[in-house]
Amino acid sequence: MITHTARPLKVVLYEGKGAIALPAEARLKVMTALLDKGYAVARVTATGTQTSPPQDDHTLLLLGSFPERQAPALEDVTGRVKIEARDITDLDAESIVALVDKTRGEKPMNEPGKWKPWFPVIDYSRCTNCMQCLSFCLFDVYGVSEENKIQVQNNDNCKTNCPACSRVCPEVAIMFPKYQAGPINGDDVSAADHGREKMKVDISSLLGGDIYSALKDRSAAAKSRFSKERSPDKALDERKKCLTKLVNDGFIPMDVLASLPSPDEILRKSEVAKARAAAALAAQPGAGAAS
Amino acid sequence: MPETPTLLYCRCAYAQVVPSGVKNAVLQQLCDSGASFETVSDLCEMTAHRDPRLQELAQCGKLRIAACYPRAVTGLFQQAGAPLPEGTEILNMRSLTADEIAQQMLRTEDEAAPAVANA
């Protein structure tokens, strides 16, 4: 799975000075085909702002219909960016995509359909840096900056289609842009959304303010009951019921639950996360006065 | 003379949460215009790997973006270490019509700022 790779190629559909404008239908087909393959494409005409060359050391591929089918030789004056130009007169969209693929060569690139960008995005205009997300996530997605500010640090660890952390955020400040429904998808937060999340925190405080301690107690009670009743079927049944409820409520997808670490590992991780959150909270300005 | 904004279109190709009818129609209207514009396959995918291109876009001055919810788009750029400049207009292809978006994307600077655009 490729995730952390900068795009190796920037494509420019050039219709400016010295090039012939493409037929409208062909232009749309080429743009659509390249975008759907995962490429970034700029269209440059004689009017409007000009596209900027990449600031990294990647390749700029300029495609255009040129007089006498002769693409110009181009060079970046700074020598940092490799610029290639190709004539695409009479080529159909499929051939143009093949030409771009060939120019990219073996350089890796995320491709649509093979990977879904799924990770939390923090709305810092709402976030109060309470660290509940850091304490909650068992997959180490969250971390803390040098300024003790909550950050998404390991987005590759996030479990696809799981929006659970956004639901424990008391300020509805965590978004998943690829989620279908609002406000998790980034839609405006209504008073009702906010109230719903606050209610969840209240439920959490009913459990003693520490959901992991409650889970630990529950696990201990279950172990004790299991040892008394000696009924593995009953224990398994109860576990299935709990998981089914979480899935049916849309809180956590089934495959995420299936990938959870062992109970011991969960407890260990939760202790580590709690300690990190507590340290970050203690280091925040005014923490001493508030406590 | 007012600064001409850079136009940016996001295809949302990696998860298809933007209605395809809207995004296709917006792209068509951009293509049919005489405007220069930038397109990206998916802003989320670029944020996932902190693509340096996001910095270039955020630093190019005035921006008009056709993508999805303004809160999400703003957060994506911020998370990639490329906060959007003040005055950036974000047009939501998940809630507006293609005509509304194309009209606002392609309007000239002396036309009134839209009620539907979000900074």
Helix (H), strand (E), coil (C) string for A228-275: HHCCHHHHHHHHHHHHHHHHHCCCCCHHHHHCCCCHHHHHHHHHHHHH
- pLDDT exceeds 80 at position B94: yes
Inspect the interface and report whether the beta carbons of B68 and A51 lie closer than 8 Å. Answer: no
pLDDT of residue A144: 93
Quote ipTM for the complex: 0.92
pLDDT in tens, B21-60: 999 999 999 999 999 999 999 999 999 988 888 998 999 8
Up-side HSE of residue A97: CA atoms within 13 Å toward CB? 16
Residues of chain A below pLDDT 50: 2, 203, 206-208, 226, 235, 289-291
pLDDT of residue A209: 53
pLDDT of residue A200: 62
| Whole-number Å distance between alpha carbons of A154 and A266 | 18
Inspect the interface and report whether the beta carbons of B24 and A39 lie closer than 8 Å. Answer: no
Q: Kindly identify which residue of chain B lies nearest to residue A185, measuring between CA atoms.
A: B72
pLDDT of residue A276: 84
A contacts of B35 (beta carbons < 8 Å): 43, 45, 47-48
Contacts of A14 (CB under 8 A, 6+ apart): A44, A62, A63, A64, A85
Inspect the interface and report whether the beta carbons of B53 and A38 lie closer than 8 Å. Answer: no
Rounded to two decimals, what is the model's pTM?
Answer: 0.83
Phi then psi dihedrals of residue A217, to 5 deg: -65, -40
pLDDT of residue A278: 86
- pLDDT exceeds 90 at position B12: yes
Across residues B90-108, what is the average pLDDT?
96
Mutate to test the interface with B, among A9, A31, A127, A171 (most CBs of B within 10 A): A31
pLDDT of residue A22: 92
The amino acid at B14:
Y
Tell me the C-alpha to C-alpha distance, in Å, between residue A36 and each of A112, A114, A206, A231.
Answer: 7, 12, 49, 54
Phi then psi dihedrals of residue A85, to 5 deg: -125, 140
Closest CA to A161 of A173, A178, A139, A147: A178
Positive or negative, the Cα torsion across B60, A22, A83, B14? positive
Inspect the interface and report whether the beta carbons of A54 and B53 lie closer than 8 Å. Answer: yes
Q: Kindly identify which residue of chain A lies nearest to residue B44, measuring between CA atoms.
A: A117
pLDDT in tens, A71-86: 887 777 777 778 899 9
Mutate to test the interface with A, among B14, B20, B105 (most CBs of A within 10 A): B14
- pLDDT exceeds 80 at position B77: yes
Mutate to test the interface with B, among A30, A35, A127, A193 (most CBs of B within 10 A): A35
Positive or negative, the Cα torsion across B92, B96, B97, B99? negative
Residue B92, classed as helix, strand or coil, is strand
pLDDT of residue A206: 47
pLDDT of residue B116: 53
Q: Kindly identify which residue of chain B lies nearest to residue A5, measuring between CA atoms.
A: B49
Inspect the interface and report whether the beta carbons of A51 and B36 lie closer than 8 Å. Answer: yes
Residue pair B41/B96 in contact (Cβ under 8 Å)? The answer is: no
Inspect the interface and report whether the beta carbons of B45 and A177 lie closer than 8 Å. Answer: no
Residue pair A48/A57 in contact (Cβ under 8 Å)? The answer is: no
Neighbours of B58 (CB within 10 A): 18
